[in-house]
Amino acid sequence: MEQGMKLWEQTLDALRQELDETDFSVLFSEANKIYKVEDNFIYIIVPNALTKFRIEKFYINKLNEIASSLSGSLVKLKFILKDEIEELEKPLNTGAEDVNKRPLRAEYTFNNFVTGESNRFAFLSAMKVAETPEALYNPLYIFGDVGLGKTHLMMAIGNYVLDNRPETNVVYTSAQEFAEDYFLATSTRKGKENIEQFYRKYRDAEVLLVDDIQFLENKPSTQEEFFKVFEHLHGINKQIVITSDRSANELKNMMARLKSRFNWGLSVDIKIPDKPLRLNILKRKLSFLIENPKDVPVEILEIIADHFTNNIRDLEGALRRYVTYCVSLNIPFTMENLYVALERLIPESEEEKNISGKIFENIKREVAAYYKISVADLESPSRKQVFTYARQMAIYIIKKHYNPSLKLIGEFFGNRDHATVSHSFDKIKNLLRTNSLVKNDYDILMKKIKK
């Protein structure tokens, strides 16, 4: 333990040389308690999920490298939250059973699953299945597009069963792993032994979770094998849960027998989340990311929810990216920063236009208010001097700070052509150098906009 402590300190010292001081202190000032040292792992407690996420995302390889080279042997650092200690201390299952178990992601629980119109029925069905030891709906077949929570729900069933009936043999596999296992079992020299191990793994399951069954399309011999497993487990009333990106009937090149089996139990779908659900998910995820979720204005969450509409993984990803960006640079959770943080995440598209749209509208509002005119005046063809000047100022600010295409800016100002936009920009740019009143306007406006 003491040695581990020393090694961790030295590792930190070495990293400090390479990092910006603020970054370093934000991330590592509190992340320094060693929880334990075991084999070649050093477990370090970190104060919150965001710190953990950032360390794992950006620094873990570097840290492992430094620690290993300092100690002269392979060292791996593991960053854990206080909440995870209990998980860590749970005795591992031993022997044959252990081989059978696929890891379930601990955070994929019913508790962490936010419900709305689009997923409530699937959620309730999954809960029911998890609560009921007798295979009630067999199989439970969950389908829907990618990123909508199928794996989460399926693992929630597994986690629930293991929490409440720990002796249950829960086997999680993706259809791909199943196919690989089968391939290995039948193609290697050890032949018989392997196939027996394969059978034991799947046929001894008491709850079998098979993710992404569509992967078995076009694989007749694996389908055949899965059919046998299915028949066996179904026959002895063991619960089977299957996910798919399509309904059973829509699967192609899948044995009819198998498809009809998939319809024997209960088939539920998860649909695209509506806006309230997307917002609720964002709020929930935010509470895991930062201590004071209220620091992020609801309007920001709304914008994110408006732009990531049909994949919850992307929705989460956008939020995480934004929060990480602001926290690591120690800048406020503003609209402007949202745009910058997500710029590359949102491809040049309608979406980008929309997201920039909100920001540009805001700038137009501020500029119009400042010159006591209306936003419509900014967009109007009128060349009244005060309108023109205000318009040029707004265009300058947008171009300088966001640099969208001239065409796009033009669209925001009553469809002006790119030459006009370009001229406006140059005009203010020159005035800023020569005219202190203009400079003064600009400074005040920027302060207002940044707010």
Contacts with Mg ion, residue ranges (CB under 5 A): 150-151
Residue number, nearest CB to ligand ADP: 149
For 101, which DSSP code?
P
Contact 154, 241 (CB under 8 A): yes
Q: Is the peptide bond before 139 cis (omega within 30 degrees of 0)?
A: yes
For 102, which DSSP code?
P
Quote the least distance from Cβ 419 to ligand ADP, whole Å: 46
- Give the binding-site size for ligand ADP (rule: CB under 6 A): 17
The residue (of 313 and 365) whose beta carbon lies closer to Mg ion is 313
For residue 412, with 0-12 CB atoms within 10 Å meaning exposed, 13-18 middle and 19 or more buried, which class applies? buried
Quote the least distance from Cβ 270 to ligand ADP, whole Å: 7
Token match 């050093």: residue? 42
Q: Which residue in the set 54, 152, 261, 391 belongs to the binding site for ligand ADP (CB under 6 A)?
A: 152
Q: What is the CA radius of gyration of the chain?
A: 28
Angstrom distance (rounded) from CA 451 to CA 444: 11
Residue 238: which of Mg ion, ligand ADP, none does it interact with, CB under 5 to 8 A by kind?
none
Span interacting with ligand ADP, options 147-155, 184-192, 335-343, 431-439, rule CB under 6 A: 147-155
Coil, strand, or helix at residue 17?
A: helix
Residues 316 to 345 in contact with ligand ADP, rule: CB under 6 A: 316
Residues 280 to 319 in contact with ligand ADP, rule: CB under 6 A: 281, 312-313, 316
Angstrom distance (rounded) from CA 70 to CA 75: 9
Task: Name the packing angle between helices 298-307 and 275-289 (round to 10°).
Answer: 120
Span interacting with ligand ADP, options 112-120, 230-238, 353-361, 394-402, rule CB under 6 A: 112-120
Q: Which residue in the set 51, 138, 151, 424 belongs to the binding site for ligand ADP (CB under 6 A)?
A: 151
The residue (of 313 and 358) whose beta carbon lies closer to ligand ADP is 313
Coil, strand, or helix at residue 362?
A: helix
Residues 113 to 142 in contact with ligand ADP, rule: CB under 6 A: 113-114, 119
Q: Which residue in the set 50, 137, 140, 149 belongs to the binding site for ligand ADP (CB under 6 A)?
A: 149
Contact 259, 248 (CB under 8 A): yes
The residue (of 112 and 422) whose beta carbon lies closer to ligand ADP is 112
Residue 412: which of ligand ADP, Mg ion, none does it interact with, CB under 5 to 8 A by kind?
none
* Identity of the amino acid at 261: R
Residue 356: which of ligand ADP, Mg ion, none does it interact with, CB under 5 to 8 A by kind?
none
Position 150 contacts ligand ADP (CB under 6 A)? yes
For 292, which DSSP code?
-
The residue (of 269 and 377) whose beta carbon lies closer to ligand ADP is 269
Here the tokens at position 362 are: 């805001």
Q: Which residue in the set 139, 147, 265, 410 belongs to the binding site for ligand ADP (CB under 6 A)?
A: 147
The residue (of 151 and 424) whose beta carbon lies closer to ligand ADP is 151
The residue (of 31 and 266) whose beta carbon lies closer to ligand ADP is 266
Sequence-distant (6+) residues with CB within 8 A of 9 are none
Residue-wise burial string across 396-407, b where 16 or more C-beta atoms lie within 10 A, e elsewhere: bbbbebbebebe
Residues found near ligand ADP in the complex (CB under 6 A): 108, 112-114, 119, 144, 146-152, 281, 312-313, 316
